[in-house]
Structures are given as C-alpha cells and as structure tokens.
C-alpha cells in the first residue's frame, strides 16, 4: 500500500496538471497565424482557440470574438472542445475522490483499506481524464500539421502551434503521472498481511500431573 508521501506527490502533480488543462482550455492560443513562405504580413497576428478567435495588432490592441455557432465549427474544434471539457470534469471528480481516500486526510473514516481503494479510484479517474486531454491535443496537432502541408491551403490561411497546445501536452502528462502515483494505493488484505500466533489454552483442573 502506498505511503502518504507518495499519495501527496501524486495528488500535487495531478492537480497541477489539471490547472494547466484549465488554462489550456480557456486561452485562445491553440492556433497562431504562420509567417512561413510568402506571408510577410506581420502587422497583425491571428489566434484561434476553442471558444473564440483573436486578432492582435502590432500596436498591442487585441480584438476577440466568440464563435457564433457551435455546429458551424470544424469537427476538430468541436471534438477537441468536448474532450477537454470531459477531461476537466473527470479531473474535478478525481480530486474529490483522492482527497477522501488519501491517508493524510480524515475524510472517509478510519478504514485504511477502504481509503486506499478510494484513492486508487481517484488515480484511475485522473488517468482517464489525462488521456482524454491527450487525445484532444494530439487530434488538434494532427489537424494543424495536415492543413499546413496541404498544397490547397492558402499561405495566409496556414496556422502553427499555439502556446495552449504545449500547455495541454504538459498538463496531460502531469495528470497521467499523478494519477499513476495515486493508483499505487492498491489495498492489501489484512488476512494476508498479518499473522496471528496460535493461542494457548489453559489446562483442565482435572488433568493428572505426572512426575
């Protein structure tokens, strides 16, 4: 059964990764305009996120616009948005379960085996949430690379990786690593872990003593 230090380390890494996933989902820098090839217009930079797209002027002025319709968005953005939201919800549920199951907390009673099972469940949920965000980042990355090397894509319509994708990669890795450490809280049955010495019974008063 994992000790409290290992559980605390796993929980800290998973929470840090979950915070990174929240930041990655919120910021609009998933795709940024590319200046490769003949695209020499550097007066403005365009960014596309999961919820909005922004234009940054060279003067520092930023204009952002929310997407008008969800159904009109490309399938990649819709799937990435859904997977990231699922990842955040699973991460929140995993934090609640892990808080109850860790040894350093008083929640969930004094049953060590029960708390270890709850902590292990929280770690598994963290891993599932991290995998969901990992798939979302990989899917968006693949689409950006495909569009960039597509010969039919106009040069001024090509995009490169934004900072949100890198934050998503890092957050996914930390969440999965933290969940794996929490999953080490596999409970051990007390019947196998402990050994009871044979009991000695008192002699009967009617027993005869021999010299």
The number of folded domains in the chain is: 1
Residue 136 forms part of a structural domain: yes
Residue carrying structure tokens 């909005």: 52
pLDDT for the residue 193:
43
Location of structure tokens 């990992």: 134
**Class of residue 176 by CB neighbours under 10 A (exposed 0-12, middle 13-18, buried 19+):** buried
Residue 2: what pLDDT?
55
Collect all residues with Cβ–Cβ distance below 8 Å to 53 and sequence separation of at least 6.
Answer: 28, 46, 47, 64, 65, 67
Query: What is the number of alpha carbons within 13 Å of residue 19 lying toward its C-beta?
Result: 6
Q: Is 18 a domain residue? A: yes
Give pTM, 2 decimals.
Answer: 0.80
Q: Which CATH number fits the domain that encloses residue 166?
A: 1.20.140.150
On whether residue 49 sits in a domain, the answer given is no
Question: Residue 206 and residue 211: Cα distance in Å, rounded?
Answer: 16
Confidence (pLDDT) at 115: 83
> Using alpha carbons only, what angle is made at residue 76 by residues 161 and 149, rounded to the nearest 5 degrees?
50
Predicted confidence at residue 169, as pLDDT, reads: 95
Q: What percent of the chain has pLDDT over 90?
A: 40
Q: Return the structure tokens found at 188.
A: 């051990």
The pLDDT assigned to 113 comes to 82
φ, ψ for residue 151, nearest 5 deg: -70, -20
For residue 157, being part of any structural domain is answered with yes
Contact 158, 148 (CB under 8 A): yes
In this structure, is residue 211 part of a structural domain? Answer: no
Q: Are 120 and 98 in contact (CB under 8 A)?
A: no
Q: Does the residue 38 lie in any domain?
A: no
Angstrom distance (rounded) from CA 103 to CA 91: 20
The token duo for 133 is 């965000």
* Residue 74 belongs to domain spanning: 4-27+70-187
pLDDT at 192: 43
Q: Which two structure tokens, joined as six digits, stand for 17?
A: 């990764």
- Distance (Å) of CA 83 to CA 39, 143, 176: 33, 15, 15
CA–CA separation, 19 and 161 (whole Å) = 20
Q: Give pLDDT, residue 60.
A: 73
Write out residues in the chain with pLDDT < 50, as ranges.
Answer: 1, 190-195, 197, 206-211
């Amino acid at each position: 059964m994992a000790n409290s230090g290992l559980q605390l380390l796993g929980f800290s890494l998973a929470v840090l990764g979950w915070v990174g996933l929240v930041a990655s989902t919120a910021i609009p820098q998933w795709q940024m305009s590319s200046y490769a090839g003949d695209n020499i217009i550097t007066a403005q930079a365009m960014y596309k996120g999961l919820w909005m797209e922004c234009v940054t002027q060279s003067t520092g002025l930023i204009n952002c616009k929310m997407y008008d319709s969800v159904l009109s968005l490309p399938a990649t953005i819709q799937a990435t948005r859904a997977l990231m939201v699922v990842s955040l919800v699973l991460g929140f549920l995993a934090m609640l379960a892990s808080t109850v199951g860790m040894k350093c907390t008083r929640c969930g009673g004094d049953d060590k085996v029960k708390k270890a099972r709850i902590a292990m469940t929280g770690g598994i949920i963290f891993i599932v949430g991290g995998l969901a965000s990992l798939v979302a980042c990989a899917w968006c990355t693949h689409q950006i690379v495909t569009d960039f090397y597509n010969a039919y894509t106009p040069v001024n319509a090509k995009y490169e990786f934004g900072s949100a994708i890198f934050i998503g990669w890092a957050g996914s890795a930390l969440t999965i690593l933290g969940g794996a450490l929490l999953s080490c809280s596999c409970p051990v049955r007390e019947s196998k872990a402990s050994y009871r010495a044979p009991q000695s019974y008192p002699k009967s008063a009617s027993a005869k003593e021999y010299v």
